[in-house]
Chains A and B, each alone.
Chain A
Amino acid sequence: MIRETGFVDIRVSAPYDTFGEARGEKSARRFEVYGYTFIARKPG
């Protein structure tokens, strides 16, 4: 969807174990949910 909007130069970070050891860890593991940083640029 980022690309569909028109953004370019899209990059994604390595995953963060955002929910590790939190109460929501079980649900996160079930769907392999991790946090990521995304960066993209609006063409000039």
Chain B
Amino acid sequence: MTTEALAVNPSVLREEVKKKYRDVACNPHGEHHFHTGRPLTRRLGYDQAVVGAMPDVAVESFAGVANPFVLRALARGEMVVDAGSGAGFDSFIAAHQVGVEGRVIGVDMLAEMLEKSRDSAKRMGLGNVEFRQGILEEMPVEDGWADVVISNGVINLCADKKRVFGELWRALRPGGWLQFGDIASGKPVPESAKANIDLWTA
């Protein structure tokens, strides 16, 4: 798929997304159009015994749209990529499920989110999680490394979804699982709305 065939320019959209989620990282309790933090984890059915043990800083910037673990819990020892890991919340849930025998690589493009996720991992003493800077269209993960790729509310923010799904495929080993949360609309979105960059992040 070429850039010309896409509804919006991927680079322009990426900069708008960065602006929005930089604010979520630095100002998690500010006025956002979506829920964040612990109330959102309850709304999406996360195990509150696990969430409750996490420090506020590891949860407050969570802005997912569903629960990637609800249809299949991760198995101990699995290797996991969290595509668009944000402040690391789903990566920490994954680290809990795979245990010390497993490993989690979170990939995010925002320096502010990476700093926050690395600080939280250190604070929780998680040695099986690392965070790398990158975009979903070009993840810094070797071919076939992952048993599971998770993601939450990020694919919908990418203009070139065909390229993103190709990249998620590349990172997975044969037989591996893709489990992700995302939004879908029940009504057709007009072309004029699709081309409006403000509506992608509003």
Contact = CB atoms under 8 A, between A and B. Distances in A.
Nearest to A3: B165
A28 B2 CA distance: 29
A6 B181 contact: no
A2 B187 CA distance: 20
A13 B177 contact: no
B174 A37 contact: no
B169 A34 contact: no
Contact of B182 (A6, A22, A36): A36
Contacts of B162: 1, 4-5
Interface-centre pick from B161, B174, B181 (highest chain A CB count, 10 A): B181
Contacts of A33: 183-186
Nearest to B45: A16
A6 B169 contact: yes
Given A36-B183, A37-B67, A39-B179, A27 B34 contact: no
B53 interface: no
A31 B190 CA distance: 10
Interface of A: 1-2, 4-7, 11, 13, 16-24, 27, 30-44
27 contacts: A5-B162, A7-B169, A11-B71, A16-B66, A17-B43, A18-B34, A18-B183, A22-B32, A23-B34, A24-B202, A27-B33, A33-B183, A35-B44, A35-B153, A35-B181, A35-B182, A36-B183, A36-B184, A37-B67, A37-B179, A38-B181, A39-B178, A40-B178, A41-B175, A41-B177, A42-B176, A43-B175
Given A22-B33, A44-B175, 4 more contacts: A5-B165, A27-B33, A33-B186, A37-B71
